[in-house]
Structure 1
Amino acid sequence: MIREALATLLDLEPDMRVVGQVGRGDQVADAVTALGGVDVALLDIEMPGLDGLSAAAELRRRHPETKVVVLTTFGRPGFLRRAMEAGAAAFMVKDAPAARLAEAIRRVLAGERVIDPDLAAAALADGVNPLTGRERDVLAASADGSVNAEIADKLCLSEGTVRNYLSACIQKTGARNRAEAVRIAQEKGWL
């Protein structure tokens, strides 16, 4: 419903035309291919199939000419950092007015990067994500309550390595246990 409403609002802009919509992150790159390329893809962080940040990275790999705008309700500094690392040209929160979104798209097409200013300030104050990529993988795999053996099997690691990564995650997040480390990392947008 929100996707369709945004598409309708953007179609009302005299210099914009919405050429396609998909409801899943794992459909984004294929849809851009099927359309013969697009100038801008508007992605949400929370998408079924493949999250918006992973979809942005895939889009960047397969269609580097397509600019990515991330629009989300999850205005967390860690998500901003990860979005920029994934190649997003803009990061806006969903409660921004439609006119601001349209202006952000125009600025992205002009070669600028656009970031919600309050979120940018929070990201600078929050610092860099202390977790390595592999630590994020292991911590994310533990979020559903999986035990070390299950995580090790899923990620092709030894149980001892999983235990070491989880210990590092707990230490780096200042948590008391893995569940709290997951919660902290999610709240900060590190996962």
Structure 2
Amino acid sequence: MTQTEGRASGSIRLLLADDQDLVRGGLAALLSLEPDLEVVAEVGRGDEVLEAVRQQSPDVALLDIEMPGLDGIEAARQVSESSLACQSLIVTTFGRPGYLRRAMDAGASGFVVKDTPAAQLAQMVRRVAAGERVVDPTLAADSLAGGINPLTEREQEVLRAAREGGTTRKLAQRLHLTEGTVRNHLSSAIGKTEADNRHDAVRVAVERGWL
């Protein structure tokens, strides 16, 4: 974790969470060029976000989605459910409509893709810090066109387990469910994704950002 000192007292404090050091460093360098933005912490794991927010008191946490330990959407949920005065902005390569819906449901205040121009990203950070919600307009349109996630929480849980592999018996043991219950949830998920089998259902759900 790193800190940046010597900024003006009225600056917006930022936490950056991304498992790619080069990306995180580049983002920190770009945002630090803005006179009113101050990067006070950087982490490379999703399960480090909440503690870093507690320790450094950032105004905005910029979160990647795919990180070890915990994904950025669940990290945003933890921050949202805490009593800490920090807003979350998802900044990711994976601009999937399903991810956008999940992020907003988790309490994130914004969702943008990493190829957003630096000046535009800085302005979005300011808006999030001011209590506004910001969403990439193309993603917003795609999300509306794509419809809601049809999978129940339990079906998502079963598909996530199936993504890791294993027989139905192994999935049941891992999830503390009966084999029949696992089969029922898999069958339902396969139908809802219009897939041929569980592996295809996982692929469809991931591509649409439902997992």
- Report TM bin, short chain: over 0.9
> Which residue does 1:73 correspond to in 2?
93
**2:117 matches 1:59:** no
- The count of residues paired between Structure 1 and Structure 2 equals 190
Cα displacement (A) at 1:64: 4.4
- Aligned residue among 90, 97, 118 for 2:110: 90
> Which residue does 2:202 correspond to in 1?
182
- Aligned residue among 36, 41, 46 for 1:15: 36
Q: Distance in 1 between matches of 2:135 and 2:83?
A: 22
Cα displacement (A) at 1:62: 2.2
User: TM-score scaled by structure 2?
Assistant: 0.88
Q: Greater share of strand residues, 1 or 2?
A: 2
Runs of 4+ in 1 over 6 A off after TM superposition: none
Cα displacement (A) at 1:112: 1.1
- Aligned residue among 27, 46, 49 for 1:28: 49
Cα displacement (A) at 1:63: 4.2
Q: Note the aligned Cα RMSD (angstroms).
A: 0.9
Q: Distance in 2 between matches of 1:180 and 1:108?
A: 37
Q: Distance in 1 between matches of 2:64 and 2:162?
A: 24
User: What's the CA shift string for 1:46-70, capped at 9, x where partnerless?
Assistant: 1111111111111112244210000
Gaps of 5+ in 2: 1-21
User: What's the CA shift string for 1:166-186, capped at 9, x where partnerless?
Assistant: 000000000010010000000
Gaps of 5+ in 1: none
Q: Percent identity?
A: 58
> Is the 8 Å Cα contact of residues 29 and 63 (structure 1) preserved in structure 2?
no
Q: Distance in 2 between matches of 1:94 and 1:146?
A: 34
**2:23 matches 1:2:** yes
- Aligned residue among 128, 134, 140 for 1:108: 128
- Aligned residue among 142, 163, 173 for 1:122: 142
Q: Distance in 2 between matches of 1:34 and 1:113?
A: 25
Q: Greater share of helix residues, 1 or 2?
A: 1
3-state SS in 1 of match to 2:41: coil
User: What's the CA shift string for 1:3-38, capped at 9, x where partnerless?
Assistant: 011011111101110000000000000111122x21
Q: Distance in 1 between matches of 2:193 and 2:177?
A: 22
- Aligned residue among 55, 59, 65 for 1:45: 65
